[in-house]
Amino acid sequence: MSKHSTGAAQLPEYVHDLKQSDVRALNQALHDLDPAAPVTHWKVLNAAGDHALAVGIDANANVEIMGHVGYYCAGMNKHATVTIHGNAATGLAENIMSGVVRLKGSASQSAAATGRGGLVVIEGNAAARCGISMKGVDIVVQGSVGHMSGFMAQRGRLVVCGDAGHALGDSLYEAQIYVRGKVEDLGADCIEKEMREEHVKELQALLDKAGIAADAREFRRYGSARKLYNFNIDHADAY
């Protein structure tokens, strides 16, 4: 790892070359950061599908990863801003707590699964099960999402600027889903809901925050019909 100045009035930038050092050393350096310290800037070079990059950060770091990443990149993120200049394999930003994870490419399955807070922006497409069991995270996908996205989503918002695959929002709880394109079909207990003015304003603010140029009025809103909260024999075929 090397240290470079980013200017007289700026904090230093730490450069970690994965051809010269390994993922364990990178993650240990990020884990050693003081959560109370000012923001530090990191650039990770030569990522080539490495797994578990920049996981478990609990500090005000700004991390740029140059290249494609493997499984669970930026998992359990807290406070940090992580930007990936490439595509990501399974489990991007899994269990994110806070901060921002931005993917410049497309994500494989289970992106932002179980996320509890923060913002995940995917500028390409996301595969199956995007946002499953989300518990407060905001997810904005500029492209489309695959089947079973939003499965058992409890809290938070999933925004899809493209299309959504089969069984969107299956067994949904209180999370909100917004889709601009076509929806293949809805999962159990997921229904289309009225897009009122407060939802338009809320969604537009989120799109602007994510840096995605889109008109909130072009989206439709989906949520839970609340028929599966408690077992009811009349709805047994929906479980």
Distances from the Cα of 88 to the Cαs of 9, 124, 219, in angstroms? 34, 10, 26
Strand partners, 46: none
Q: Which domain holds residue 219?
A: 2-238
Say what the pLDDT of residue 8 is: 41
Is the pLDDT assigned to residue 126 strictly greater than 60? yes
Q: Tell me the C-alpha distance between 13 and 3, whole Å.
A: 6
pLDDT greater than 60 at residue 99: yes
Q: Examine the pLDDT at 131 and tell me if it is beyond 90.
A: yes
Nearest to 66 by CA among 88, 43, 49: 43
DSSP-derived secondary structure letter, 39:
P
What span, in angstroms and rounded, lies between the C-alpha atoms of 192 and 168? 11
Cβ(168)–Cβ(222) below 8 Å: yes
10-58 tens-digit pLDDT: 666 899 999 999 999 999 999 999 999 899 999 999 999 999 999 999 9
154-194 pLDDT, tens per residue?
999 999 999 999 999 999 999 999 999 999 999 999 999 99
- 186-232 confidence digits (pLDDT tens): 999 999 999 999 999 999 999 999 999 999 999 999 999 988 766 56
CA-wise closest residue to 13 among 33, 40, 35 = 40
pTM over 0.85: yes
pLDDT of residue 231: 57
Q: Is 124 in a helix, a strand, or coil?
A: coil
> Which residues on adjacent β-strands are paired with residue 3?
14
Model confidence at 9: pLDDT above 80: no
**Any idea what the CATH number is for the domain that residue 93 is in?**
2.160.20.60
CA distance 28 to 22: 10
Percent of the chain with pLDDT over 90: 88
Q: Which two tokens stand for residue 148?
A: 């079973």
Alpha carbons within 13 angstroms on the beta-carbon side of residue 39 total: 10
Tell me how many domains the chain contains.
1
CA distance 212 to 209: 8
CA nearest to 154, candidates 168, 172, 141: 172
Residue 227 pLDDT: 82
In the predicted structure, residue 104 carries a pLDDT above the cut 60: yes
